Amino acid sequence: MDHIDLSDGRRLDIRVTGPDSGSVLVFHHGTPGSGRGFRILEQPAHERGLRVVWMSRPGYGDSSRQPGRSVVDIVSDTAEVLEYLGVDSCVVGGGSSGGPHALACAARLDVAKAVLVVGSHAPFDAEGLDYLAGMGDDNITEYRLAVEGEEALRAHLLSKREGLLAASINGFIEEMSSLLPDVDRAVLTDDFGEDVIADVQGALRTGVDGWVDDALAFVKPWGFDLDEVTIPTTIWHGSEDRFNPVAHGQWLAAHVPAASGHFLEGVGHLSTWQASPSMLDGMLARTHPRVVESWDKRPDPGR
């Protein structure tokens, strides 16, 4: 991990991988998470000529805390990272709780040309959506405590942190058991399993501030209107997702202008990442169609 010093004095951890001259994909991590990244996304992105930019949100890893932040606050941080890198055009993405942050950039970051959203949750006040229906007990508890306020939430997350920091893959599955259907447990092997553990443990190494502030931000307004998202938007979601049930992705697909929804039967929250090549192809097809036509693509399983 590298870092930059932001204009307000905060530190922000960043990681940049891939071809120096490639088009840029800024990808926002889940909760809890960090900018360490997943090879299951990184490798196909590099194959498509993309330079991938990861960052640890405020309060995660060595990124300075930003108390009281809203989802939309990620836009100014992302803009400063891109300015530091000398980037004047990009595509953005977000997985899980990175999805709302990617949508914020899609709405307010002028240089963003397309957005990829994977397994995201909808706004907490989403009209017509039973927000907690179908979630695992761990996330239900977390959201209810977030509504109560920081004190109760922090105590709960501190108790979870200890187990996650000490966890192996099997320990991680046990800690997150209510959120992981069999199809997700099956993919937590080899590189992907290692990356998931490294991502979570890197996020929580210095405490739970980032986790606390994410959860508090998600139960209040995001700070922007989904009608502001007018760039091409590609949404992917698995039918067996227990972190953010598929109804959230369907709701977003129905409320984000020009959104393309891809809903995978029999796939969970983590196992969705096995479709990374198709996800990237689908996003790039809407911004670089001539390039995508030259690739030997597998059929899109979401169609």
The pLDDT value given to residue 303: 35
Note the CATH architecture for domain 2-293: 3-Layer(aba) Sandwich (3.40)
Please tell me the distance from the alpha carbon of residue 258 to that of residue 46, in angstroms, as a whole number: 27
Q: Is the peptide bond before 32 cis (omega within 30 degrees of 0)?
A: yes
The pLDDT value given to residue 288: 56
pLDDT in tens, the chain (303 residues): 899 999 999 999 999 999 998 899 999 999 999 999 999 999 999 999 999 999 999 999 999 999 999 999 999 999 999 999 999 999 999 999 999 999 999 999 999 999 999 999 999 999 999 999 999 999 999 999 999 999 999 999 999 999 999 999 999 999 999 999 999 999 999 999 999 999 999 999 999 999 999 999 999 999 999 999 999 999 999 999 999 999 999 999 999 998 999 999 999 999 999 999 999 999 998 875 443 333 333 344 443
Amino acid (1-letter code) at residue 294? S
Please tell me the distance from the alpha carbon of residue 34 to that of residue 291, in angstroms, as a whole number: 31
The pLDDT value given to residue 291: 37
Please tell me the distance from the alpha carbon of residue 284 to that of residue 234, in angstroms, as a whole number: 10
Question: By the 8 A CB rule, do 270 and 188 touch?
Answer: yes
Q: Where are the domains of the chain?
A: 2-293
The pLDDT value given to residue 297: 38
* Phi–psi pair at 87, nearest 5 degrees: -105, 130
Is 88 exposed, middle or buried, given 0-12, 13-18 or 19+ CB atoms closer than 10 A?
exposed
Please tell me the distance from the alpha carbon of residue 135 to that of residue 122, in angstroms, as a whole number: 13
| Model pTM above 0.85 | yes
